[in-house]
Amino acid sequence: MKSKIKAVFFLITIIVFSCNRKADVLSENKKIKNSVLNKNSDLFFFEYKKNIGGEIDSIEEMISLYEKVLYGNVYLENYLKDKVFVSMKEIREYYLNNKFDFIRKNDQLLVLHFTTENVDEAKKVGLALSKKDGDVKLKTMKEYDIIYSKLKKGDLPKTLDNIVFSSFSKNRVVGPIKTDFGYHVVEVVDYLKKGDYLGLDEVYDQISQNIYNYKRASLLGSLIDSLSVEYKND
């Protein structure tokens, strides 16, 4: 019995020693790895100074500069977050005051465009759109996830493009037409003529972004002026 206890104790001692040794080896490997990484970072930095140049004298200074930029941007985004708002009234006024900036540069067609690999499915959609029934059209659009889109000459595969743009007449259905991308069905809903004014719905996002950027830049300029006075002696 005593011999068995000694054997077990000896085995446990070996296991503990082995685990401790393994932990020491892993710890040492980690130290070596970190040392190599730090050394490599130093080497890359020295090469940066030698070949690219700059006023930064240490990696610590680089990190400090990066942190300043990072924390500064966090403050700026929080400062501007709730202060820049664009109203619908401002968008309409901008649109009316700058209408000559929103002139259509190309002839376009407003269309419903459906594509599938299944010819029978394409025929079904084409037939439904050809009926000129509003309820049927809406049901078909929902069922096949068809949405309105604007196209200019060259947007479609060549064969289909030539057929669709062969006439600017409205409410005509083209297809199914087979191309390398499947079977296409296109309903021409409206002709949007080159030189006409773009609708507010077409330029809404652009106008909203323009106003937002202008307001943001104005606030940023005021903030910088204010902070320059507050920290002029720092």
Could you tell me if 143 and 124 are in contact, meaning their C-beta atoms sit under 8 angstroms apart? no
Give the separation between CA 137 and CA 126, rounded to whole angstroms.
10
From residue 195, how far is each of 57, 104, 152, 192, 207 by CA, in Å?
59, 5, 14, 9, 19
Give the separation between CA 16 and CA 12, rounded to whole angstroms.
6
For residue 74, the model assigns a pLDDT of 78
Q: Is residue 209 scored above 70 in pLDDT?
A: yes
At 149, give phi and psi (nearest 5°): -150, 160
CA–CA–CA angle 133, 139, 144 (5° rounding)? 120
- In 3D, which of 219, 225, 230, 189 has the Cα closest to residue 83? 219
Lowest-confidence segment of 32-36, 131-135, 227-231 by average pLDDT: 32-36
Average pLDDT for residues 79-88, to the nearest whole number?
86
At 179, give phi and psi (nearest 5°): -130, -175
